[in-house]
Chains A and B, each alone.
Chain A
Amino acid sequence: MEGITINNPENLIECKTILDWISAESSVLDLGCGDGELLSLLIKKKRVQAQGIEINQQAIQNCIIKGLNVFQEDIDSGLSDYPEKSFDYVILNQTFQQVKKPAFVLEEALRVSSKTIVGFPNFLHLSSRLKMCFGGKVPVTKSLPYKWFDTPNLHFFSIADFIEYCKTKGIKIEETVVISKNKKVRVFPNIFGEIGLFLLSK
């Protein structure tokens, strides 16, 4: 599972948003931290106490090169060891749609953290809708770049789906930022937003 790539300027708003949400010198657990770019940035800018969880061997090595603490574990089962509120923040950025049991993982993330950050691609972005309606095929877009047969994404949902889910589960949405083309989307986010970022608590 890949985390955020800061070398890619298109992700900058995502990074900035997460940086804004996280308070200095807090403790952060990044689920599916990839090469550890986001965690390194958080340490540099916010002096956080960082821990990553990642399954990919090569990504782990890249984390170790950066001096990060990382566990080679499955996100789906990696949180059970932690007692409640072990971290100030748990981050599930671009990995939430890839876990086997998203409901369970989100519940666990909320249990072990004070606040949970979730970021995912909006499956019902305008370009996806058009490709589905008129192309007759599963959409391949910038935020959903994979073909149907080799996608790591296991769950497809929209920003509206996620907001509704949080309501039914009593999860408090503290902040929402919807992004498209590295800009914040303010009107019709479920149509024009490529990426949804949420700051949650329970």
Chain B
Amino acid sequence: MQKKSIRRQIEITISIHQSHNIKTKQFTFAFPPNELILESGKKLGPITITYETYGKLNKEKTNAILVTHALSGDAHASGNHEEEDIAGWWDKLIGPGKFIDTNKYFVICSNILGGCRGSTGPASINPNTKKEYATNFPLISIGDIVNVQKELVDHLNIDKLLSVIGGSMGGMQVLQWMVAYPERIKSAIPIATTMKHTPQQIAFNEVGRQAIISDPNWKNGRYYGSKIPAKGLALARMIGHITYMSDDSMKIKFGRRFKLNKEKYKFGAEFEVEGYLHYRGDSFVKRFDPNSYLYITKAMDYFNIENGKRLGSIFKGLKTKILVISFKSDWLYPSQQSQKIVKACKLARVKTTYCDISSNYGHDAFLLEVKEEGQIIKHFLNSVLSNDWKESPLTIQKI
């Protein structure tokens, strides 16, 4: 008789903030010999995922929303942690009485696989060597990231998510959910994202990676326990921030103003915009692992849900209701890329709504232009939740 291997799972609650009902938890699974098989064919396990939830899951488990974060995000999407007092990265959007109302919805956000904010990534300890994985960490894909999120959703006993929502790389994860687990989502909201990176987008990521790799402190990724390649990571972040803003938003925010009490014509940060980029770069170093930056940007560059398929066949048969959002001043993930997603939905006859929101924030608009974006998301979620008479009889979904 074959011996059944028991699938071991561990759940730890790190902290509970009663006032906001925010729970930071960890879920560990894929213990050997049941490691997760990655898209590359390599095995990885055990895997720990750090996640937070906001609001309450209803009895029928029909009000769960998964929020997926972008490159530098983490599980902390909403509310304030008492010990850090840092608001979640989408706090303007998610919370009690907010656009994604946690009095009504149960919102889940997890740090991605390969990340460095509590989930398994290159800075985690490899159980075989008892040392950090560093560059021995296997290459991961957006598909792997989503597969891990699916494990978490399974673990929470949620059969069908009301929606999966995310911007930028978070939007890639949303698109991946649409093709990998269409039967597990009732709706999806990909924001300011793309079905695949263009050469320009890959190029920006490569400059960021090279900034890290060419930092002498990088040492082939084996810098743990010594000086980290801080200069390289800060530089990567500075380049990133230029691409997240627009020409207009920079003019409004900084103009050509100088920082005060500085002598001119020195190669320091004299202009306000320089000071801002330095500040952004330096603060990023305190919370982000350079190797994670390398792995995650690679996952973004390799992401391609078109993958040689005809545009009309990508979302064929998808019963999920889709809301695509882009921002007019976003030149990193320009509206045309969202419109291509819309075109793929059109050709597959998927129920789709598309909004191209006016904003001069550039790519950052998905985090900042919350009023317009929030209203649209709020009304869209309402209509998905009510699942009312608008559903066509031909495609009506039985609950």
A130 within 8 A of B: no
Q: Which of A25, A40, A65, A81 contacts B379 (CB 8 A)?
A: A65
Secondary structure of the B side of the interface? mixed
For residue B381, which residue of chain A has the nearest CB?
A: A64
Contacts of B380 in A (CB 8 A): 64
Contacts of B356 in A (CB 8 A): 72
Q: Which of A41-49, A164-172, A182-190, A192-200 contacts B (4 or more CB under 8 A)?
A: A41-49
Q: Give the Cβ gap from B384 to chain A, nearest Cβ, in Å.
A: 8
Q: How far is the CA of A81 from the CA of B354 in the complex (A)?
A: 14
Task: Number of B interface residues at 8 Å Cβ cutoff, please give it.
Answer: 29
A57 and B358 form a contact (CB under 8 A): yes
A99 within 8 A of B: no
What string of 1s and 0s marks CB contacts (under 8 Å) between B373-388 and chain A?
A: 0011001101100101
Q: Which of B128-136, B222-230, B341-349 contacts A (4 or more CB under 8 A)?
A: B341-349
For residue B391, which residue of chain A has the nearest CB?
A: A67
B210 within 8 A of A: no
A153 within 8 A of B: no
B393 and A25 form a contact (CB under 8 A): yes
B343 and A81 form a contact (CB under 8 A): yes
B357 and A67 form a contact (CB under 8 A): no
Contacts of A44 in B (CB 8 A): 389
For residue A44, which residue of chain B has the nearest CB?
A: B389
For residue B355, which residue of chain A has the nearest CB?
A: A72
Contacts of B358 in A (CB 8 A): 57
A82 within 8 A of B: yes
B372 within 8 A of A: yes
B352 within 8 A of A: yes
Q: Which of B342, B357, B379 contacts A57 (CB 8 A)?
A: B357
Q: How far is the CA of A70 from the CA of B353 in the complex (A)?
A: 5
A68 within 8 A of B: yes
A67 and B388 form a contact (CB under 8 A): yes
Given that A71-B342, A83-B347 are contacting pairs, would A43 and B390 also be in contact in the complex, using a CB cutoff of 8 Å? yes
B394 within 8 A of A: yes
Q: How far is the CA of A161 from the CA of B335 in the complex (A)?
A: 38
Contacts of B383 in A (CB 8 A): 64-67
Q: How far is the CA of A68 from the CA of B355 in the complex (A)?
A: 13
Given that A61-B375, A64-B379 are contacting pairs, would A73 and B354 also be in contact in the complex, using a CB cutoff of 8 Å? yes
Q: How far is the CA of A67 from the CA of B346 in the complex (A)?
A: 17
B386 and A67 form a contact (CB under 8 A): yes
Residues of A within 8 A of B (CB): 25, 40, 43-44, 47-50, 57, 60-61, 63-73, 81-83
3 nearest A-B residue pairs (beta carbon): A67-B383, A67-B390, A49-B392
13 A-B pairs within 8 Å (CB atoms) are namely A25-B393, A44-B389, A48-B392, A49-B395, A50-B390, A60-B355, A64-B376, A65-B382, A66-B383, A67-B383, A69-B351, A82-B346, A82-B347
